[in-house]
Amino acid sequence: MDEQAIYAERSAKVLEQLNKLSKKQKVDALLIVNYEKSQRANTRWLCGFSGSASLCLLSENHRSFITHSLYAIQSRAEARSPWGRYILSPGENWFEYVKTLGLNKIGVIGKHISVDRFRALRRNLRPAKLVALSDILSKIQETKDELDILMVRKAIESIEQALQHIVTRCIRPGVTELEVKRELAMALPLDAELTFAIIASGPNSAIPHHSPSDRAILNGDIIKLDVGCRIKEYNSDITRVVVVGKATPAQKRMHKAVLEAQSAALAFYTPGTPVKRADEEARRILAAYKYDEKVIYSHCLGHGLGLQIHEYPGVSSRNKERFRVGQVVTCEPGIYIEGWGGMRIEDDVLITKYGHELLTKFPGDLIEI
């Protein structure tokens, strides 16, 4: 894998989108402000730098990476070509350097910056004008390149390793949800960071996004495990279901329905297929099992996954787009019965030229402990 070529291609794609916007808004450059890690993921994607304070300025004539002398050594090791580094001296203001570039109008992505910071930037960059742009990065990042996919695979492998640990060695009657979460975090590889853990036992499993509590696991409980980790800004997201003891017929039936709904929906995870078809099929299967619409999942069937846990596209009946090669998308139908329990099965899926690939490998069978 030629990483330098990948970073060059990424900046070229951003510049292409910027040029399209420039025809309407006359924007000279795109500015990405990474302050206290606020845009660290996008900065890392664009030029490779993982520090907590930097700027990337991209225009037809400039690919400038700007950071403080504090990060001089780190940026020399991480910032990739074709980005030129500019290291600020102690006391030097970065906007004074930007002013020397002679830019008339600079764009920032509106959703990535607070109103207060936008106003401060606008004031400091005068006489250049500052304008808010649509989120051109997210649309580009929706289609993963070779490096993106490699990193998502690593994040998935890491969370599955930790998931295997808690399923085989941790979950048992008397252990609390919070204790399971702590054990999950400790079981991750050293380069992985736990980003979220929905550990939902018994009636709590009916809460789609339950926060782990001090509730102790009981024999007969459904345990819904929706977990994910991050490696070098890339995320994983997987959900599996455990029953403590022998599953009841009702528990087995619910799991069968959810698993069948997911399998049917995945048949539509192919390039060129309308995204909404997958959601419609999953709901059709669950309704055929006579589950009331009120207990069938109210969230999207899935979402894009990568630098963010939730990216484009959202997989729902409202989405009028089609699946595209290179997208990494989750598939996670569920049933939630208040006071009784709920189940969700979630996998991470890569849309390929000829269909799809399940990136998650952990078996989706109902696990009885």
Joined tokens for residue 19? 């040029």
Whole-model pTM: value is 0.95
Beta bridge partners of 344: 334
The answer to whether residues 161 and 238 touch, using CB atoms and an 8 Å cutoff, is no
Q: How far apart are the first and last CA of the chain?
A: 42
Among 97, 225, 103, smallest CA distance to 166 is for 225
Mean pLDDT confidence for 335-353 = 98
Q: Are residues 67 and 163 in the same domain?
A: no
Among 255, 249, 228, 253, smallest CA distance to 367 is for 255
Q: Are residues 150 and 286 in the same domain?
A: yes
Q: Are residues 193 and 132 in the same domain?
A: no
For residue 1, pLDDT beyond 90: no
**Rounded to 10 degrees, what is the CA torsion of 154, 264, 298, 315?**
60
Q: Are residues 44 and 7 in the same domain?
A: yes
Domain boundary among 140, 155, 174: 140
Domain that holds residue 53: 3-140
Q: Are residues 155 and 129 in the same domain?
A: no
| Mean pLDDT taken over the chain | 95
Q: Are residues 125 and 182 in the same domain?
A: no
Domain boundary among 105, 125, 140: 140
Q: Are residues 319 and 267 in the same domain?
A: yes
pLDDT tens for each residue of 235-277? 999 999 999 999 999 999 999 999 999 999 999 999 999 999 9
For residue 17, pLDDT beyond 90: yes
Q: Are residues 213 and 131 in the same domain?
A: no
pLDDT tens for each residue of 48-79? 999 999 999 999 998 999 999 999 999 999 99
With bands split at pLDDT 50, 70 and 90, how would you rate the model's confidence at 91? confident
Check residue 21 and give its pLDDT.
82
The answer to whether residues 355 and 221 touch, using CB atoms and an 8 Å cutoff, is no
pLDDT tens for each residue of 321-340? 999 999 999 999 999 999 99
Q: How many domains does the chain have?
A: 2
Q: Are residues 135 and 153 in the same domain?
A: no
Mean pLDDT confidence for 94-115 = 91
* Residue 41: CATH number of its domain: 3.40.350.10
* Residue 242: CATH number of its domain: 3.90.230.10
Q: Are residues 113 and 175 in the same domain?
A: no
pLDDT tens for each residue of 285-326? 999 999 999 999 999 999 999 999 999 999 999 999 999 999
Q: Are residues 77 and 178 in the same domain?
A: no
For residue 202, pLDDT beyond 90: yes
